[in-house]
Amino acid sequence: MSEALNEQAIARYRNDFLKEVEERVEEGEWVKMCMQCGVCAGSCPFGPHWEHSPQKLFMMIRAGKREEVLSSDSMWMCTSCYNCVVRCPRKLPITQIMHGLATYAYRLGLAPKDQPTRFFSQLFWKNAVHTGRVNELKLTLALYFKDGLIQGIKNAWGMRNIGLGMLLAKRLNPLELFHEETCKDQEGIRKMLAKARELENKRRGFSKE
């Protein structure tokens, strides 16, 4: 599915990666407005941990470096702190563009395979829409056990003091495994989201043409 989407995108946009980003990435139409001042790069809390700053990514997009951009780990480092957004002299919605690029890379199957934030994002959304509300216990356990039972037990054991502290503070509910607080109209939410996804695919050109 993602492979076919990627081939379809390459065929459609040829060497015009900027146009591809403008049409298919959330807020992508802003990329060309970047004036390369670098304030975003200096404002990011996770600055020391990425290879490509937003500023670099924007220039790479304009230079047509499709593969490097979409397989980059950097946009996954966005903590959604919005510091770059409020400081950008051109008022680019940089946080949203980072999310948009990461999302697009993931849809095309080009995102780094073991990217932990990609995994957590997927886990979080699925957890939230499953019943309409987040089940914090299942979310945490699913993250600990992502690499299998043995590693999961090790992870959970490593965090036992935090878990126990939260339990004693009455901020963790072990019963959430069996009984969860949910939205009543789960069926409505499911249908609503299916429709939204269908409309978005159409608008972004992901549906079969």
Partner 1 sequence: MAKKEYAFYPGCSSRLRGSASNYLVSVNAMCKTLDVKLTQIPDWNCCGASIGYAESGELPRHVMNARNFALSEKHLPGRDIVATCAACWLNAKESKEKLSASADLMKDANEALKEAGLRYEAKSEVRHMVEVLIEDLGYEELGKHVVKPLDGLKFAGYVGCQTNRPFGIAGESFENPVYLDKLVETVGGEAIADYDQKVTCCGGALAFSEPDKSQKQIKDIVESAYDRGADMIVTPCPLCQANVEIYQSEINRKRGTKLAMPVTYYSQLMTVAYGGTLKEAGLDGHVIRAKKLEEIAVKVIPAKKR
Which residues of this protein are in contact with partner 1, per CB under 8 A? 26, 45-46, 49, 77, 79-83, 85-87, 95, 99-100, 102-103, 106-107, 111, 116-122, 124-126, 128-129, 132-134, 136, 140, 143, 159, 161-162, 165-166, 168-173, 176, 181, 183-185, 188-189, 191-197, 199-200, 203
Minimum CB distance to partner 1 smaller for 2 or for 15: 2
Minimum CB distance to partner 1 smaller for 59 or for 166: 166
Task: Give Cβ neighbours of residue 120 (< 8 Å, ≥ 6 apart).
Answer: 143
Minimum CB distance to partner 1 smaller for 64 or for 117: 117
Least distance CB 66 / partner 1 (angstroms) = 19
The rounded distance, in Å, linking the Cα atoms of 47 and 78 is 9
Of the candidates 101, 102, 141, the residue with the CA atom closest to the CA atom of residue 121: 102
Minimum CB distance to partner 1 smaller for 64 or for 138: 138
The rounded distance, in Å, linking the Cα atoms of 25 and 28 is 5
Residue 70 carries which DSSP code? H
Task: Give Cβ neighbours of residue 51 (< 8 Å, ≥ 6 apart).
Answer: 72, 73, 74
Minimum CB distance to partner 1 smaller for 59 or for 123: 123
The rounded distance, in Å, linking the Cα atoms of 180 and 41 is 42
Least distance CB 115 / partner 1 (angstroms) = 8
DSSP 149-189: HHHHHHHHHHTHHHHHHHHHTT---GGGGT-----S-HHHH
Least distance CB 35 / partner 1 (angstroms) = 19
Least distance CB 49 / partner 1 (angstroms) = 6
Output Rg (C-alpha) for the chain, integer angstroms: 20
Least distance CB 31 / partner 1 (angstroms) = 16
Least distance CB 15 / partner 1 (angstroms) = 26
Specify whether the CB–CB gap between 125 and 118 falls below 8 A: no
The rounded distance, in Å, linking the Cα atoms of 70 and 5 is 14
Minimum CB distance to partner 1 smaller for 132 or for 152: 132
